[in-house]
Amino acid sequence: MRVLLVDDEVELVSAMAERLGYRGLDADWTDNGEDAIRMAAETEYAVAVLDMKMPRMGGLELREKLAFHHPGMRFIFLSGHGSESDFKAGCAAGCSYLIKPIQLEDLVDMIREVVGEELS
C-alpha cells in the first residue's frame, strides 16, 4: 500500500514519510498540492494524508481534485487546532482527521482503518 503525504512543512512531512517506511508503509511526500496531483497521476496511492492549511491549495480543495481523478483514494486530514473549525465546516461527516502534533501510531492505525485493513 502506498501513501501520499502533503504538508508545506518539509521537515515534518519528510520525517513522517521516513517513519511510516519503518512501519511497512511506503510513503511519498510533497509540500504542495500541484505536485501532489502530478504524483497521483503517475503512482497509485491508497491513501492521501493532507494538511488543511497550505499555501494556494488547502487540503479540502486538494481532496476534491484528487478524488475526482482517483475515486478509490481515501483521505486523512492533518489539522492545526486553529484550522479544526474550518475543517469541520468544510468536510462532510465521517472524514478522518488528526490534530497536530500527532502520534505516528495513531496515523498508522487510521491509515489501515480507512483502507479497511485489520488493525495490527
Partner 1 sequence: MSQATVPAREGLKFFGRVSASVSHEIKNVFAVINEAAGLIEDFTLMAERGMPLKPERLKSAANAIQGQIRRGDTIVKNMNAFAHSTDEDVREVNLAELLGLTVALANRLADMKQIRLTAGDCEPVSLAADSFDLMLLLHSSIAAALDALSAGDTLAVGVKPENGGASFSLSSPGKDAPLANDEAFAQFARSMGADVGVDEDNRASVLRIQPTARPE
C-alpha–C-alpha distance, residues 6 and 117, integer Å: 22
C-alpha–C-alpha distance, residues 100 and 17, integer Å: 15
Q: Which stretch binds partner 1 (CB under 8 A): 13-21, 37-45, 65-73, 112-120?
A: 13-21
In this complex, which beta carbon is closest to partner 1, that of residue 44 or of residue 105? Answer: 105
How many binding residues for partner 1 (CB under 8 A)? Answer: 20
The H or E element containing residue 113 is helix 104-114
The interface with partner 1 within residues 47-106 (CB under 8 A) comprises 53-56, 80-83, 100-102, 104
Residue 44 CB, nearest distance to partner 1 (Å)? 26
In this complex, which beta carbon is closest to partner 1, that of residue 48 or of residue 79? Answer: 79
C-alpha–C-alpha distance, residues 6 and 28, integer Å: 9
Judged by CB under 8 A, which of 15, 26, 34, 64 binds partner 1? 15
Handedness of CA 113, 115, 119, 120 (dihedral sign): negative
C-alpha–C-alpha distance, residues 44 and 31, integer Å: 18
What secondary structure letter does DSSP report for 81?
A: G
In this complex, which beta carbon is closest to partner 1, that of residue 99 or of residue 115? Answer: 99
The site for partner 1 (CB under 8 A) is made up of 9, 11-12, 15-16, 18-19, 22, 53-56, 80-83, 100-102, 104
